[in-house]
A and B are shown apart, each in its own frame.
Chain A
Amino acid sequence: MTTLRLRGGRVIDPTAESADAVRDVGVRDGRIVALPPGAPVDEEIDARGCVVMAGGIDMHTHIGGGKVNLARTLMVEDHRAGVNPFALPANPLEMPSCGGCTPGTLATGYRYVEMGYTAAFEPAMVAGNARHAHMEMGDTPILDHGAYVMLGNDELFLQMLHEGGAATHNFAQIRDYVAWTIHATKAMGVKVVNPGGISAFKFNQRRLNVDENHVHWQVTPRQVVHMLARALRELGVPHPLHIHGSNLGVAGNIESTLETIAALEGLPAHLTHVQFHAYGTEGPKKFSSAALQLAEAVNANPQISIDVGQVMFGQTVTASGDTMRQYANSGLASPRKWIGADIELDAGCGVVPFRYREQSYVNALQWAIGLEIFLSVTNPWQVVLTTDHPNGGPFTSYPHLIRLLMDRSFREEQLAKLHPEVAANCALRSMSRELTLAEIAVMTRAAPARLLGLPDRGHLRDGAAADIAVYREHADREAMFTTPEYVFKDGRLVARSGRITAVPVGGTHFVEPGYDTAIEKVLRRHTKAHGLPSFDNIVIGHDELCRCCNGGRLLPAACFETTP
């Protein structure tokens, strides 16, 4: 039994009775406990002058799987330090690993942890690539992890939806298929990407609006979204449908985004990287911010949550399952090269390098739109802080983003550097809101944990896992959030002042909803007919998951009770 006391820190826990209070935090055997004042402990840390928060949770970050490894391969020139190779780590606990916008898994783990994050979720796991995704996450040290499996572009789902007709008389079968897929791939949730559109692109359809039919299956994105959201609801999967909507990046796509929210008919859902889905067509360039319209819809629909996908200036690479939209954007690739793939009747991927430039009207406006969304959604519990790593920018830019949100004068300084028309006209100019530490704690810890159904993460109340970040108070919030003084993972000190001090293997979060095994017959027929891997080889069992994930702990999350 080991005990630890963090003494006298300013504890920011938005779920606690007092969200912002100077107090001690006690830890026993990896869990937060109330230690009696003065009781002897194995270790006491002076946290006076520090802000104490739960470990950060990134619920949408592309850290593992096929498209990420393709991005690393494609961006080989980004995996150098100028003309020289990346230096080897000075810290003997770290293994060599490099990369800027798509670092190796080892570097990904180290850099997240040094920033005070203790969990990260891969949002776009292709079912046929699930083992690979888990392998990569298992090789991402220290962080706990999990993934959302992609559905809604797989031919079997679209075929079932087509066969079910308007009445969806086969709803139970589709629901079982969704549950089986989560079970087989050991996923934490389900993501739909350009609903129906990835498949439609394989049939040479180049765009797909929310009420437009898939050229082959004759179903609409509206139907796909509604069906998946309903299935997850009935299965009791804690994380609601994770939606990358239709028409990503297209001017005027706010219409699709609002239609997608309407398609849910009140069902809960998480709309991801909404910055890329909040564009209007006003102004001389026919490209404008629709952040306020989006925020209005989010404010009016408390069952909806979002993450932003903030754009940060500089080189990055966009890695997405949305083959249709990545193909459309591939002409903007910088450097001029890109990778696409049609994948196994299941999904697709597109990897397009991109450089966001301050002097580009579009990029500057994208930056402003992201910030406008953050600042105009009233309830921080509905907004999660992301850059959609690496699509809007690398996760290492989070401290900078936090400062932009917390410090209006800093924000204005940055805005002044941008394309003059954006700097002069954007709604962001007049936004005076500065997010508080408690609001940042919600957006980076508490809300992600709640949205994922992780009751013992994202807070510091008794019984929580002792994933803790201790930041030295600093008026420059970027400096403060870049290098916490201490980071603990399950009670163990894993980073001290930006230096990794221990490298435990992280755990794997997943859910296991129940299903009727009759669905397996359908799947057996489907896999055989289409030359897919043998049905018997698809399901990842617990032992295999454990090996894929390097022996890390398995962390099944409970589904909630559903009324039959």
Chain B
Amino acid sequence: MSALESPSAPAAAAPWTCPFCPLLCDNFSVDAEPGGWALSGSDCGRARAGLARFGPAAAPAPPQIDGVSCEPQAAIAAAARLLAASRQPLFGGLGTDVAGARALYALACRTGAICDPAGGAALFHGLRALQDRGAFTTTLAEVRTRADLIVCIGSLPSERYPEFLRRCGVGEGGAAEVVVLQPTAAQPATGLVVAGVEVVRFEGDLFDAAAMLAACVAGRSVGDAACALGALATRLLAARYAVLVYDAAQLPAQGSLIIEAINRVVSTLNQRTRAAALPLAGADGASTVNAVFTWLSGLPLRTRAGPMGLEHEPLRFDANRLLGDRAVDALLWIASFGTEPAPPVVDLPRIVLGHPSFGAAVQGPGTVFIPVSTPGIGSAGHLFRTDGVVLLPLFAIRDDGLPSVADVLGRITRELSA
């Protein structure tokens, strides 16, 4: 298939799915204009910033070895040599789509690499809570149609996901009241004023807030200090369909405890009314790669095909910890959705698959840089939406002449096996 061929593309106006945040909005369009891409139907700052990294026409971007441009095959061979020489590679970033993840699994098995995405901590906050106690979740269209009370725990998601409120129907005839539960300890009382959003502040940190809210909802007495939470609990108990929203990436260390408390609130509410959690997570391919690895191998990320077998180590295989401990001796970094997450500065042999603009930043010796196509810009692809249910197609809006992550990884794997 050519890079421009997009899955199931209808003949009418070119479809576009925004790949820059896990809401994956697919009802806007982009048009090429002399100054760059023009987004119509939305003023989403995140989408604009994402698009600004790409011009309507792509400049040629050859791969580099040690900062020197080279032929693609030379880069593939160098990458394969680098991995073959490594005793314990780390695959990080993992900013790619389903096809990239499929190819990545084969290479990870071949090399015994440990895989952990950028934002691995946030991913594992959610997984830990899910695996310990379970969860009850919902999806965007359910929230928009059914929710009469949306409680955002910790922060208002629209700061990081600008289309969030609109996706929930706020301002578009939706019936839901939106509340942000913000502990004073988390941040100073900023002028968070958003139409239709109410802020409930709580003296304490988010661990206390979530735990005490769970206690209030369960009808336990938590003292006077929590009267704001008591009132919120009363509203939750009275709601027909309450939704608790959290952004795992914004949670502190041990954030799974907060998620557990949120899930406990949902569980208590479901005894008499209806409620569900909506996690906002999985940006830049993290949840997509995790889903693919889980279905292929049976285990989530932070797993390696090691000497003992399929070793899943959710704490030990944290990329930051491994890099900090110098427990790995080579890094493959994948960031195909733009300039973030940038590869960490490490004194290790590196392979970087990413946006052409990385070229300037990854010049050092021992670095192989292979520019790759961005799914949703230069190539078609598939990503999971934040709720983990809907797998949306991404469409190419230009031909960038770059290989996909899957192409590159497939070639490296074949080179290693040759």
Contact = CB atoms under 8 A, between A and B. Distances in A.
Does chain A bind chain B?
yes
Q: Select the residue from B17, B141, B169 with max chain A CB neighbours within 10 A.
A: B141
A200 to B, nearest CB: 11
Contacts of B382: 131, 135, 548
Interface string B273-313: 11010000000000000011011111110000110111110
A223 interface: no
A444 to B, nearest CB: 25
Contacts, number: 197
A345 B143 CA distance: 10
A537 B140 CA distance: 16
Interface string B95-131: 0001100100110010000000000000000010011
Nearest to A534: B26
Interface in A251-284: none
Interface in A80-96: 80-81, 84-88, 95-96
Given A64-B295, A73-B294, A105-B295, A341 B308 contact: no
Contacts of A96: 109, 297, 305, 309-310
Contacts of B306: 85
A550 B270 CA distance: 40
Contacts of A548: 382
A302 to B, nearest CB: 39
Interface stretch (B6-14, B46-54, B333-341, B346-354): B6-14
Contacts of B142: 202, 342-345
B411 interface: no
Q: Select the residue from A99, A547, A550 with max chain B CB neighbours within 10 A.
A: A547
B109 A342 contact: no
B26 A327 contact: no
A99 B300 CA distance: 12
Nearest to A105: B295
Given A73-B131, A531-B167, A95 B298 contact: no
Given A72-B294, A341-B138, A342-B138, A533 B309 contact: no
Nearest to A77: B131
A106 interface: yes
Given A343-B139, A345-B145, A85 B310 contact: yes
Given A84-B309, A533-B26, A73 B130 contact: yes
Interface string B258-275: 000000000000100110
Contacts of A343: 138-139, 142, 389
A544 B1 CA distance: 10
A126 interface: yes
A81 B274 CA distance: 38
A534 B392 CA distance: 10
Interface string A80-122: 1100111110000001111100111111000000000000000
Interface size on A, as a range, is: 35 or more
A86 B312 CA distance: 10
B162 to A, nearest CB: 15
B7 A344 contact: no
Given A533-B392, A541-B7, A95 B295 contact: no
B144 interface: yes
Contacts of A131: 382, 391-393
Given A531-B167, A543-B7, A344 B139 contact: yes
Interface in A302-335: 327, 333
Interface string A521-563: 0000000101111101101110110011010000000000000
B130 A106 contact: no
B201 interface: no
Contact of B391 (A99, A105, A135, A203): A135
Given A128-B139, A132-B384, A345-B145, 20 more contacts: A66-B389, A68-B295, A72-B299, A88-B309, A95-B105, A97-B297, A98-B299, A105-B295, A337-B131, A340-B137, A341-B389, A344-B389, A531-B140, A531-B145, A531-B167, A533-B392, A536-B10, A537-B17, A541-B7, A547-B1
Interface of B: 1, 5, 7-8, 10, 12, 15, 17, 26-27, 98-99, 102, 105-106, 109, 127, 130-142, 144-146, 167, 169, 240-241, 270, 273-274, 276, 291-292, 294-300, 305-306, 308-312, 382, 384, 388-393
Interface of A: 64, 66, 68-69, 72-74, 76, 79-81, 84-88, 95-99, 102-107, 126, 128-129, 131-132, 135-136, 139, 155, 201-204, 327, 333, 337-345, 528, 530-534, 536-537, 539-541, 543-544, 547-548, 550
